[in-house]
Amino acid sequence: AQSVTQLDSQVPVFEEAPVELRCNYSSSVSVYLFWYVQYPNQGLQLLLKYLSGSTLVKGINGFEAEFNKSQTSFHLRKPSVHISDTAEYFCAVSLGSGGYQKVTFGTGTKLQVIP
């Protein structure tokens, strides 16, 4: 069975500072990795995903993430955050199981951008 660990439940950061949100996963088979963002009172929306190829993937709103197979990590980064980035971020792993997609989410990291 696969699992996802998000090490930080809350991350406060000043506006225009860089940020890294950490995600580690475990799985006995190859997985696809995703980051979703949830703004207050809204559903989740896709930020970026890693399927294969280059280990550095770029997403919307200036976010990027790096897949590290040896460390089983998929950390999310942004070089300069904005107030509008205040939201909760979820890391997720997806694999095929019995012919269908199985997606497991982490517990989330709340990013609080301080003016």
Residue 49 CB, nearest distance to other proteins (Å)?
7
Closest CA to 38 of 105, 110, 112, 92: 110
Q: How far apart are CA 26 and CA 101, in angstroms?
A: 17
- Helix/strand/coil for 103: strand
96 binds other proteins (CB under 8 A): yes
108 binds other proteins (CB under 8 A): yes
Q: Which stretch binds other proteins (CB under 8 A): 19-27, 35-43, 56-64, 76-84?
A: 35-43
CA–CA distances in Å: residue 30 to residues 6, 25, 51: 19, 11, 10
Q: Which of 43, 53, 69, 115 binds other proteins (CB under 8 A)?
A: 43
Residues making contact with other proteins (CB under 8 A): 4, 6, 9, 31-32, 34, 36, 41-46, 49, 51, 90, 94-96, 98-108
